[in-house]
């Protein structure tokens, strides 16, 4: 009994170890060589610990930013960043997240096998982010133990097939085949863009016939894009807050401009570390998931990360990003005029989801579809997080939150339903 107790209370309650055990099971099932099994399990465990280290790095910068932003503009500002919020979440709900992630994948395979929704959601980091958000909402609503894991896994498994199914009619139009699906939790934004494009655009006038500078492609580099945006945001904030406040109360005497530079780049360094951790985890978990899925649901369609659609309309990618980001800025001013929490537009969510929304909007409505469709996506990812914050429990006060549209949609619906019942 004491061995079992030790396993349950001391070993498996460590989310890093739990992830390692899942990786181990997956690698055994794939009949990998013994060295690969050992290194793979260790890598997944270490990846999880790296995640926590990254959180430690970026949280400090984020908290400093929040204090300065509040002093500068007398309003609370939140920067949506999936990596940041998930790394913070892991410190308190890591075990729940790991369990919901793995069992959610099993529910996905079951649904693909038993229902007409033949999708296998292969974007591992989004699965993990969604698992973290569902854990936060369930914990916030007072759930724990088996009910928490069961409800979370079922919801996760369902959204892993429902969102690809929603996007599929448009994916067929974009890629010209029915073999590939979209597995990305920004889907409601893309579908909205496609519907807007259909309503107001003309798909004959494609973005791809436009001459457009491609110089913005450096934004594909996440670390640089995050660093540059944070730098701009930090500099504006310290200038408005003034050197006296920054140097006396926040930086401990460091020059306010230097402080802004170092803190914004530190934040970017933290995100880089978190990404490295996430990469190590999903590299060990996803192949096993795919292996099981291939055997159990041979006719399944792989649902893939949003950049798969970028090559089909590279100009729409740029148009979509700019339009979505513009909506983020407009939305930010609207929110501050209303006087609620301000969602500060982040380059990463606007780049990836704005670009994909641009491609979807272009497929149904050409230039106008790409521009207006991506603008709608930008408004969605600005206003949805405001409504999401209250249902995230303790995580709602983290100065950062989930970025993409589906996190908002699912979080809000699920969170308020739970509130009705609890």
List contacts with another protein (CB under 8 A): 122-126, 175, 177, 180, 214, 217-218, 220-224, 272, 275-276, 278-279, 282-283, 286-287, 290, 302, 304-308, 310-312, 314, 352
Please report how close the Cβ of residue 115 comes to another protein at its closest, in angstroms.
24
Task: State the DSSP string of 334-392.
Answer: HHHHHTS-EEPPPHHHHHHHHHHHHHHHHHHHHHHHHHHHHHHHHHHHHHHHHHHGGGS
Shortest CB 223 distance to another protein, Å:
4
Kindly state the smallest distance separating residue 220's Cβ from another protein, in Å.
4
Which among 77, 100, 104, 105 is positioned nearest to 89, based on CA atoms?
A: 100
Q: Considering beta carbons, is residue 124 or 140 the nearer one to another protein? A: 124
Cβ-based neighbours of 409, under 8 Å, separated by 6 or more? 188, 384
Record the tokens describing residue 191, joined without a space: 């579908």
* Minimum distance from residue 222 beta carbon to another protein (Å): 5
CB of 348 to another protein, least distance (A): 8
CA dist., res. 172 & res. 180, Å (int):
8
Q: Which is nearer to another protein, 26 or 201 (CB)?
A: 26
- Find, among 233, 295, 241, the residue nearest to 261 by Cα: 233
Q: What are phi and psi of 77, to 5 degrees?
A: -115, 135
- The sign of the CA dihedral 349, 353, 355, 361 is negative
Closest approach of another protein to the CB of residue 275, in Å:
7
Closer Cβ to another protein, 165 or 318, answer by number:
318
Q: Specify the residue, 14 or 222, whose C-beta has the smaller distance to another protein.
A: 222
Residue placing its CB nearer to another protein in the complex, 174 or 386: 174
The three state secondary structure string of 51-106 is HHHHHHHHHHHHHHHHHHHHHHHCCCEEEECHHHHHHHHHHHHHHHHHHHHHHHHH
Strand ranges (E), 149-274: 181-182
Provide, rounded to whole angstroms, the least separation between the CB of residue 184 and another protein. 8
Handedness of CA 311, 315, 318, 319 (dihedral sign): negative
Task: Quote the least distance from Cβ 114 to another protein, whole Å.
Answer: 25
Closest approach, Cβ 260 to another protein, in A, equals: 21
- Identity of the residue, 164 or 415, whose beta carbon is nearer to another protein in the bound complex: 164
- Specify whether the CB–CB gap between 320 and 357 falls below 8 A: yes
C-beta closer to another protein: residue 278 or 322: 278
Query: What does the alpha-carbon distance between residue 280 and residue 297 come to, in Å, rounded to a whole number?
Result: 26
What single-letter DSSP state applies at residue 400? Answer: E
Give 206 or 237: the residue with its C-beta nearer to another protein: 206
Residue 111 CB, nearest distance to another protein (Å)?
21
Collapsing DSSP to helix, strand or coil, 304 comes out as strand
E strands, 232-352, are: 301-304, 342-343
Complex with another protein: residue 124 or 164, whichever CB lies closer: 124
Coil/strand/helix, residue 118: coil
HSE on the CB side for 187, CA within 13 Å?
Answer: 25
Residue 361: HSE in the Cβ half-sphere, 13 Å Cα cutoff: 37
Least distance to another protein from the beta carbon of 255, Å? 27
Our CB check for another protein shows the closer of 115 and 223 to be 223
Nearer to another protein by Cβ, of 251 and 362: the residue is: 362
| H or E stretch at 128 | helix 124-140
């Amino acid at each position: 009994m004491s061995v079992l107790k030790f396993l349950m209370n001391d070993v498996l309650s460590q989310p890093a170890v739990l992830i390692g055990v899942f990786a181990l099971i997956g690698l055994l099932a794939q009949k990998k060589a013994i060295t690969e099994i050992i290194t793979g399990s260790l890598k997944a465990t270490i990846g999880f610990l790296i995640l926590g280290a990254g959180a430690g790095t970026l949280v400090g910068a984020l908290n400093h930013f929040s204090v300065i932003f509040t002093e500068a503009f007398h309003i609370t500002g939140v920067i949506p960043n999936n990596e940041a919020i998930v790394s913070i979440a892991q410190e308190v709900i890591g075990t729940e997240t790991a369990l919901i992630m793995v069992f959610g994948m099993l529910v996905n395979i079951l649904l693909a096998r038993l229902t007409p929704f033949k999708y296998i959601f292969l974007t591992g980091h989004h699965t993990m982010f969604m698992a973290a958000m569902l854990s936060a909402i369930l914990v916030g609503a007072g759930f724990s133990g088996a009910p928490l894991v069961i409800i979370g896994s079922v919801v996760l498994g369902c959204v892993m097939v429902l969102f690809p199914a929603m996007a599929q009619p448009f994916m067929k139009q974009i890629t010209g085949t029915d073999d590939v699906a979209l597995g990305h939790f920004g889907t409601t934004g893309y579908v909205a863009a496609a519907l807007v494009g259909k309503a107001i655009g003309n798909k004959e006038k494609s973005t791809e016939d436009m001459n457009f500078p491609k110089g913005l492609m450096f934004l594909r580099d996440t670390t640089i894009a995050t660093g540059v945006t944070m730098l701009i945001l930090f500099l504006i904030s310290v200038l408005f807050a003034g050197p006296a406040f920054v140097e006396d109360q926040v930086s401990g005497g460091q020059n306010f401009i230097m402080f802004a530079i170092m803190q914004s780049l530190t934040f970017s360094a933290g995100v880089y570390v978190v990404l490295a951790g996430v990469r190590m985890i999903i590299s060990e978990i996803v192949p096993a998931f795919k292996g099981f899925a291939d055997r159990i649901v041979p006719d399944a369609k792989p649902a893939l990360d949003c950049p798969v659609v970028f090559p089909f309309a590279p100009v729409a990618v740029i148009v979509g990003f700019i339009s979505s980001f513009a909506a983020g800025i407009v939305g930010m001013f609207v929110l501050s005029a209303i006087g609620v929490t301000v969602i500060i537009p982040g380059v990463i969510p606007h780049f990836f989801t704005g670009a994909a929304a641009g491609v979807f909007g272009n497929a149904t409505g050409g230039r106008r579809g790409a521009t207006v469709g991506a603008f709608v996506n930008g408004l969605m990812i600005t206003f949805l997080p405001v409504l999401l914050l209250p249902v995230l429990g303790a995580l709602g006060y983290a100065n950062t939150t989930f970025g993409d549209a589906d996190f908002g949609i699912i979080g809000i619906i699920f969170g308020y339903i739970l509130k009705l019942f609890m």
